[in-house]
Structures are given as structure tokens and as C-alpha cells.
Structure 1
């Protein structure tokens, strides 16, 4: 049956007509500088985060008072963030359950209300799909996404997204982008297929861009956390197909794209990604907008095709066959098609010494440096985050459970880079032997100079949540079960002491005097 569909697809794609909504377009450049050094936050993010923090503080104060009346008059409140790991649909749905368990609009558990208290939310790969589905649809509740979108789109594999008509639209989208003078790769097809499943809107939300999120009502009213996605750079020009553990970490937000890492150390306005720039200035007069198509952004964050390194090897899978069926209607496949491809906005930019001579950046899944929990954007001193909820739905073990690799790698990278904001993270052996990967754990409690990380790993509280990362089809009941289990992950299985003890772990970073009840709580939940 799949073969017949692909044969029909091949014929229909050959007659596809060009679309006009996916292709980037020429536009007048902004009057402000397009590129800046990574010496701190942009003025725009600083201003936005300050306004968001004021609203988040009120929500946090309300939540704290529910846990212990001693917090009712708290004044100095920590800045909170959530990190959603990669792991395909398992991570997207389990992570969605964590959001539901934090969201006072959508649940009534011990952690309900913490979503309203977050200032930042970062995700990669499956976590980036989650960030994008929530932020790109203007932050609806998870329950409404399950009943109104995911329940209707995840029960068929990507191969059947919107049927053959959807595949024809995707081919037309790629042709339009190619005709406009831009490379199209497997990441384009991948992002477009995913978009049909996680974005509302015509043609799979084809006209949604990452920078457009900054104009949505929940963003402009500062009623939701600031969204960030991550990806990893690959030095294809040096023959590298896969990054090492110190591979450059790039981040995408509605405001900027770039990296804090030395060798790049710069950011460009997201809206003008795709523009031809030299030393931070337009090299051809006009700029480009629309390159930051939201599907292309979260497609890049989850692009693993480079692991083959030889394009033909991707055809070993049915999804690989479909991707190539679409792509080869635009151009013959090449090794560069295995990456998310971006005109280098930091070409000839002085601060970006590692990439200044390259006209193209090649990006892949944000977890390919083994940092499957996207902590890197959140531990940067410029963002001054005090507490991070690290939701880990990685498949580190043979049975698709996390074992701490994601946050340990982030810690080791931070140490190698001289970044002291990460608390000490134990070895994998310790994680497993002490069962730290099966329950909520607080890292950094006793280090006043480090961020506190509230580790929330995947565990089978109410469902067998160790679904394979490669599973592409989710019946509605499985989708609901994984989300429900995610609520349990958020609330540590509904343990009666978790809310009050979590309040102690959060407020320890405020420097405030803690209630006496916190002594036993911190002894129970804090590592070391």
C-alpha cells in the first residue's frame, strides 16, 4: 500500500504547481543594526523579559502562598525557566503533559500555576516541536491542542500528512523557495511535513514564521514565557558530518538567531535570516524576510539526516523515501541536503572568527552534541535565571529511559567553557545507582552561585511512556496517555509533599529565610 502511494505521489509531484507562501521575499532592511556581539541580551529581549518577570512574580507569589502561608508576603522572587528535551513525539507529548501540570488554566495538581510563573521556555528536537506548537499557536492550553489538533493529526504517520494533497503542496513550497534563489534540503521537507501535525493554519501553517510570534497577543501582553529553540552547528567545510560534544550551540528565538559560543559570539535579528550580509551589514541593498519559516526552524532543531552522511542511505526508511520523492522534484540530492542550511549572517563579522569565512551555515538536531536537554541558552549569565525545570524525556537506555546524560553533558561543557552557572551534576553511574533518573531531584541547592536545576525525568507513573523515538504514529488514546503521564512527571507522581518541598527548593535561591519545614524537604529532594 505504501509503495502504491509513493508511486502515485511520484506522478502527482511531477505536476505540482508553485506556491508563493513558503519562499522568502525581498524586503527593506531594518534601520537598526542587524547583527550584534553576544556581549549580553538585546535591548528588545531585556525590556520584554523585565515586563514578563513582573507578571511571572505575581503568579509565583500566588503559587507559593498555596504551598505555605509563610510565602504570602515574599518580595524577592527567583526567575524561572523550563527546558523541554528532545525525543521525538515521546518528548513532545510527555513535555506537553508537564506544561499542562504547570498550567493553572488546565490542571489542578500541586504544580498548577508554575507555567504562569515562567519567564523562559527552551526546547530542542521534539521539545522544539512542543515549544513551536504552543507558541506558534498563541499559547493555547495543552488540552485544547490535544482535542483540536494533535488528536486529529498524530494518528497517521508523517507519510500521510494531509494525504497526497499535502505532499503536492510541500513540493510546490520547495519549488517556490528554490526558484527564489535559496537552497532547499531534506530539512525543508521534514519541517513542512511536521507543520501539518503541530501548527494550525492553511497548508500546515505555511505562512507562520518564528519572528511572527513576537506579534502574537500572548507575547505582546507578556502572558507567556519567552520561547527558544536550539540547534547544533556542523563544520561541513572541514569534512565534518556530525558535531562533537563541544559543537557550537545555536539558538533561535522570535527576536534573534545566533550563538553565545566563542567563535560565533554574535546574534542577528531573526526576521532577516536569509539576507546576504557582510560584517553585519546588507551586502546587496535589500534584505530577506520569511526565511525563518517556523516549520523550517523546528525542522532544523530536529534534523538527524546528517547521521547517514551519504544521501542515498536515508532511502533505507519509508520516511526517507518520501522526503527524497519530494526533494528530487526540485533538484538532485547532495550531501548538503542532509542539513538545515542558512546563509551565514555572520560572514566577515569580526567576532565570529570560526565561521567568518564561510558563506553558509549547516545546522542539525540540537542534541547531536549529547545535550538533549537544552540548558545552554538558559545558563547564560546574561539571562540571570535562578531556577530551571529540566524535563528530560531522552532515550538514553536500551529501554528508552533517561539516565542523566543530557544534563551531565551540559555540565561538562559548561565546565570546559568556564561557565560556572551550572550546578554539579553526578556521573551516569550515580544517576542510575541512586535512581535519580526515576524521580524529581534538585541540583544546586547548596551552591548559592549556581542555578538550581529541578530535574523532572520521564518515568512510567500512569502509562508506559518509554515509547521509541522512531515511532511516528500515535493513536488518540496514546497521545492522551502520554500527556496524562507528563502531568504526573510535573507533580512527581502526585506525592503529597512535592508542592511544599518544591517551593522550598525554588525559594532557597531567593536568599530569603526558609520556613522550618524546608529542612526535611531539602534533605529529601536535594542532591548533596
Structure 2
């Protein structure tokens, strides 16, 4: 056996060990199968956290506490007063709780957010020295939507792998390389038509198996299975039998060694339009599917989706279904924008592709719902949990229809992290949406989430005041990190005091990462460059634009607990808040008019800026082929500036050789 073959075999074995086959689909394939129902009801009222999540938090909290204490100690090492950190960690109830939310935006969002998450991961080479390493380890929740969910799903369901490890093995020739998206998802074999036919043939067989077992299948099934080829290349049949609930049996999750992953989707009826004020926002977590919104207010055990139930009780003599919760299917659901394609600028082109795919994979499909994720039988059939003021449509329907979690305009998956029962102190919002004509963020997702709290559907949530999208752009808030909700005393007229939000937008440092959401393939060097740019966006250019940024992030994390304890704020934090906080005082003083006129212009202060080099050096060390590609880019960029090398640039893409020793193959590429 060749060395590379041995490594692949070891990788597969490792994955299977982390996620036992016994926890997969009962058919060990894509087709759901019959199992005995567990004791008790599958449904619960959304009156708090599930017992499973509560028990899991008991394992996660001490691990996150230790990691966060280490991070904050490092971040405040040069502060004149370290008493706040000591006070917070002297009592468990004072330890800040951190959440991370990764926005939608297709492969662009996946890759940019990968760089941002890598900057927070102490497994990334150099992240502790020149990044926010350890913050990911100190986080409790990690939510993803659409492309952002592709990132969180890839990491979590590959035994909580790291972006660093993915980069170490990234290649455009190795079929076992995660995120090997050199070829379009529409033609996964590239020039090898035989390979494409084999992949699509396998997908067709898998889809037909689900249909033959009596379940609906739509383009979302095809989409999910196609995506899985790139997310789970080391698993048998690209994870055809890998289920969402599998994660609860993986040691890395079971022992609380990773954040709690959550995927977001929107409820939708065929022919309807999803908007922020009427949408029912659903979350998938390793234990449950459901919604906190009053139109449902319920959760069900995600492991038994596909079961025929009434108010959570089996109506098939104690028989349930397992395996319906295929991981790729759920990842595809969170990114299902097929129903929106016709109205997009690329609609004509992609409309033809969708029609072709429907005929190819779903030749017997009828009706107008082939572009929606169908969860049938409806897991909430007969539920009586919704607020009596609302329609019982969700409990009366035979099927539950779910689509991309950003269709309601809330492109950042805040909803699960804003729940008061989860008690978060700070949310890091990674915004890689494409709202401007140049495909950069403009804060629209923040505005939509802010506005939703004033509707009946969102009145159980709270979110800090934000400016209009016009002000986001005018003040450059879409070009740099900004803190929202810094002063709890200005938020007392909201339903409750929401978490402080650290907003981090996609912006250009070393590479133009404003690619189209519809771009379905990326060359190796572009993948690496986009991930690197995301790292730099998260760290203010490896701290070259602000050497105090690590300390300021530490201040943001500690802020809510510092306020609740009413203890003195370190003077360095005062300066940080002056620099990074959006001033919401004038808004909070006029909350009534704000709530009724959300499109007005709201007053805020212009934050100070720090000087520093805008261009940073990309240090890439991956496979030999990746290095060759990077060097090619470098040679083609000789006319571009090379005078702004960052002394402290993190070696994000450092690779390990096959024997575990570190190989340092630095390809220095200077990009404007």
C-alpha cells in the first residue's frame, strides 16, 4: 500500500471511530429506515433548553471556561489592571459566554468564514501569536447559515477538524481533500466525464432509494448529496449514511470538546414569499429541530425525522424512522435558494440548469415544490404548542417545507444565539453577505434582525440598535470590525439586554474576496487566498492596523459581565470602546419612534481609526502543487506592491508532512 493510500485509510478509520456506524442511518445509506420509537414523546414545548443541551453544557462549560480564561489573560497582559479577569473567573456564574455566527453566501461565505474561524482557533499555526487563537475553544455556540453552515458542518461532522488541517491537505488532485472545489458541483469530474457520470449515477441511486422507501425527494436532496462529495470525501459514499444526530455519539461532541453547532433554515409554503416579519426561523442542533417563534414554539428529536407522528406520538404502533436527518440534506436545506433563482440576475442561466437537473434526477416529479426541502411526514403534525393568536398552519400541514435560512433577509444566523435561555454575553457576527453591487456586506442582515424584534413574530427576542445600511456604508462600518450594544444602560427599553455583537465584515486585505454567491468552483490558489483574507479581516491585518485589537476583543467579551457586576472597567477598555463601539445613545432615547420607523437615519459617532499597513503578506505552506500555484500567482503579480510585508503575519497555512513533522514551504505572494 502506498503512503498516500495508507493515510486515506487511516483518515477514514479515524472518522468512523469518531462517529460509530451504529449511529448512522439504519440502512447505512441515504435511505431512511424503520426503528423502534424511544419512550415518551418526540415533541416538547420551547419553554427553555432541552434536557440534552443542559446536560451537554455541564461538560462544555468548564472546558470553555479554561480556554477563555487563557485567551483573556493573554489579551489583557499589557493592561494596567488585571483584576477584572481574575474576578470574572473566580466564580463560574461570572464567566462570559461566547457565540459565533457565520453568515450565508455560498462558497465565498464558507471560505472567508473559514479564515475568520481559523484566526480564533489555537490549532492554527501562529494564531496565538498573531491572531485570536483560543477564542474558538472558549466559545460555547457556533451557528451557521447557508455557506456559513457549510463551514460549521464540515468542521463538526469531520470529527471537529480544523481549518488548518484542511489547508494542510488541500489539493486539486487528491479526491480525498476536503473542499476540493476545483471543479464545479455541476461537473464534479471536470474534464473526466466518466467520473462525473459515476458521481451523479451514485446520487441518482441514492435519491431513488429514498423515493422507493416512500419519502419525498427534491432538488435539495440532490444538492445535499452533491455538496457532501466535497465536505465528506473520506467517508464511505461521501457520508451517504451520515446523519445529523450522529454527532451526539461522537466523543469530541459528547465530551464537550467543541462548541454546540446550530444550522438555521426558514419555514416556507410553496408560492409564498419569505420575509423577516412573517418567517418562522428553524434551527437544527445535534439534538433537535424546531423553532422558538410563536408560530411553532416547539422542538422535536432530530434523530427521528420522517416518523409518522401526531403531537409527537407515533401513530405507527411505536414504529419510527431514523436516517432521514442526513447531514448533507440538512446542509443543503440551510442553503436552498433554488426557489429564488428565477428572480436573480443569473436566473435565466440557472433556471435552465435547475430544469435540467429536475428532469435528470426527479423525472417523475410533479407540482411546484421540487425546489424546496420537504420534511414529511410533518414532525410537528398535531402540535398544540403555538401561541393561540397565530395560525395553526404549521401543525395542520402534512409536510414541513424549509429553505435557505437567509431568505428572510437575516443572512447572519443570530436567532438561536439571541435566545435568552442560552444567556450569551457576546456574539461574533461574521458577515460575508453580498448586499452591495460589488458583492460586499452593507449591514442589511444586522438591520433585519434588529427590526424583527419589533414584530409579533420576533417580540421574544432582543437585538442591539444598529444604523441603516446607508449609514453602514457611509461610516465604513462594512469595512472593519464594530461593536454594537456596548452600553447595557442604553438597551433597557428592549425586551431584555441582548448580547454585545462584535460585527466582522468581509473586506479586502490581501485578496478580493467579494466573489459571487453563484460561483460554483474555485482554483486552489484562490481558495487559499480567500481563507487568508478572512483571517486578516478577523485580525485587522494580523494586528498591523491596530496592535491593541486583541485587547479590545477581550474588552468586548468581558463587557456584559463587567456591567452586571458593576465593577470598574480597565482604562484600556475605555479607549477600545471609544474606537470600536457604535454609539447608540441617541437611538435608545427615542426607541418608540425607532420601533415604528425603522428606515430612518440614526445618529452615531464615528469611530477612531488606527494607522497601519493595509497590505499583508500571504504565507502559504501546503502541498507542493499548492505552492507551485501560489508561486505562479506571485510571478504574475510582479507589478504589484511587495513593500508591505507584515512582521507579525501569522503562518496560517503552515503544513505538516506525512510523518507529522513540520514542513515549512513558504510561498510569499503579495496581493493588493
The two structures have a TM-score, normalised by structure 2, of 0.73
1:507-522 aligned at under 5 Å gives the runs: 507-511=558-562, 512-522=567-577
**Which residue does the alignment assign to 1:9?**
none
**Which residue does the alignment assign to 2:203?**
170
1:208-247 aligned at under 5 Å gives the runs: 208-236=242-270, 239-240=271-272, 242-243=274-275, 245-247=277-279
- Kept in 2, the 8 Å contact 1:234–1:243? The answer is no
- Kept in 1, the 8 Å contact 2:276–2:448? The answer is no
**What CA distance in whole angstroms lies between the structure 2 residues aligned with 1:468 and 1:376?**
25
**Which residue does the alignment assign to 1:489?**
537
Closer/same/farther in 2, CA of residues 241 and 442 from structure 1, 3 Å limit: closer
Look up the SS of the partner of 1:66 in the other structure.
helix
| Of 400, 409, 421, the match for 1:370 | 409
Look up the SS of the partner of 1:377 in the other structure.
helix
What's the CA shift for 1:146? 3.0
What's the CA shift for 1:177? 0.1
Is 1:468 the equivalent of 2:516? Answer: yes
- Kept in 1, the 8 Å contact 2:275–2:409? The answer is no
Closer/same/farther in 2, CA of residues 23 and 149 from structure 1, 3 Å limit: farther
**Which residue does the alignment assign to 1:398?**
437
- Kept in 2, the 8 Å contact 1:26–1:289? The answer is yes
1:425-440 aligned at under 5 Å gives the runs: 425-440=466-481
Look up the SS of the partner of 1:478 in the other structure.
helix
| Of 321, 342, 345, the match for 2:379 | 345
Q: Deviations over 1:439-461 (max 9, x none)?
A: 00000111252210000000001
| Of 333, 337, 345, the match for 1:300 | 333
What's the CA shift for 1:47? 1.4
**What CA distance in whole angstroms lies between the structure 2 residues aligned with 1:316 and 1:463?**
27
Closer/same/farther in 2, CA of residues 402 and 42 from structure 1, 3 Å limit: same
Look up the SS of the partner of 2:224 in the other structure.
helix
Q: Deviations over 1:249-294 (max 9, x none)?
A: 0111110000001111100001001111101101112000000000
- Kept in 1, the 8 Å contact 2:419–2:461? The answer is no
**What CA distance in whole angstroms lies between the structure 1 residues aligned with 2:530 and 2:409?**
24
- Kept in 2, the 8 Å contact 1:102–1:113? The answer is yes
**Which residue does the alignment assign to 2:35?**
27
Is 1:503 the equivalent of 2:521? Answer: no
**What CA distance in whole angstroms lies between the structure 2 residues aligned with 1:129 and 1:429?**
30
More helix by share: 1
What's the CA shift for 1:32? 3.4
- Residues paired across the two proteins, number: 505
Look up the SS of the partner of 2:570 in the other structure.
coil
Closer/same/farther in 2, CA of residues 332 and 191 from structure 1, 3 Å limit: same
- Kept in 2, the 8 Å contact 1:167–1:326? The answer is no
What's the CA shift for 1:519? 1.2
**Which residue does the alignment assign to 2:302?**
270
- Kept in 1, the 8 Å contact 2:342–2:351? The answer is no
Q: Deviations over 1:224-250 (max 9, x none)?
A: 1000001111123xx425455431101
Is 1:57 the equivalent of 2:65? Answer: yes
**What CA distance in whole angstroms lies between the structure 2 residues aligned with 1:149 and 1:197?**
11
Closer/same/farther in 2, CA of residues 273 and 440 from structure 1, 3 Å limit: same
| Of 92, 101, 119, the match for 2:119 | 101
**Which residue does the alignment assign to 2:608?**
none
**Which residue does the alignment assign to 2:586?**
none
Q: Deviations over 1:36-64 (max 9, x none)?
A: 00101101101112321221111111011
Look up the SS of the partner of 1:487 in the other structure.
helix
Look up the SS of the partner of 1:93 in the other structure.
helix
Is 1:116 the equivalent of 2:129? Answer: no
**Which stretch shifts more, 157-166 or 263-272?**
157-166
Closer/same/farther in 2, CA of residues 20 and 65 from structure 1, 3 Å limit: closer
Give the 4+ runs in structure 1 shifted more than 6 A.
none
Look up the SS of the partner of 2:182 in the other structure.
coil
**What CA distance in whole angstroms lies between the structure 1 residues aligned with 2:553 and 2:265?**
31
**Which residue does the alignment assign to 2:152?**
131
The two structures have a TM-score, normalised by structure 1, of 0.92
**What CA distance in whole angstroms lies between the structure 2 residues aligned with 1:299 and 1:314?**
22
**Which stretch shifts more, 435-444 or 510-519?**
510-519
**Which residue does the alignment assign to 2:638?**
none
Q: Deviations over 1:8-48 (max 9, x none)?
A: xxxxxxxxxxx971011001111132100010110110111
Is 1:477 the equivalent of 2:551? Answer: no
Look up the SS of the partner of 2:247 in the other structure.
helix
Is 1:407 the equivalent of 2:446? Answer: yes
**What CA distance in whole angstroms lies between the structure 1 residues aligned with 2:224 and 2:85?**
46
**Which residue does the alignment assign to 1:526?**
581
Closer/same/farther in 2, CA of residues 451 and 72 from structure 1, 3 Å limit: closer
**What CA distance in whole angstroms lies between the structure 2 residues aligned with 1:354 and 1:360?**
11
**Which residue does the alignment assign to 1:289?**
322
What's the CA shift for 1:322? 5.4
- Kept in 2, the 8 Å contact 1:84–1:374? The answer is yes
- Kept in 1, the 8 Å contact 2:224–2:329? The answer is yes
Q: Which runs of 5+ in 2 are unaligned?
A: 1-26, 190-195, 387-391, 490-496, 584-672
**What CA distance in whole angstroms lies between the structure 1 residues aligned with 2:353 and 2:227?**
12
**What CA distance in whole angstroms lies between the structure 2 residues aligned with 1:20 and 1:224?**
26
- Kept in 2, the 8 Å contact 1:315–1:321? The answer is no
Larger Rg: 2
Look up the SS of the partner of 2:137 in the other structure.
helix
**What CA distance in whole angstroms lies between the structure 1 residues aligned with 2:171 and 2:330?**
19
- Kept in 1, the 8 Å contact 2:32–2:324? The answer is yes
**What CA distance in whole angstroms lies between the structure 1 residues aligned with 2:483 and 2:73?**
21
**What CA distance in whole angstroms lies between the structure 2 residues aligned with 1:469 and 1:307?**
13
**What CA distance in whole angstroms lies between the structure 2 residues aligned with 1:487 and 1:477?**
15
- Kept in 1, the 8 Å contact 2:341–2:350? The answer is no
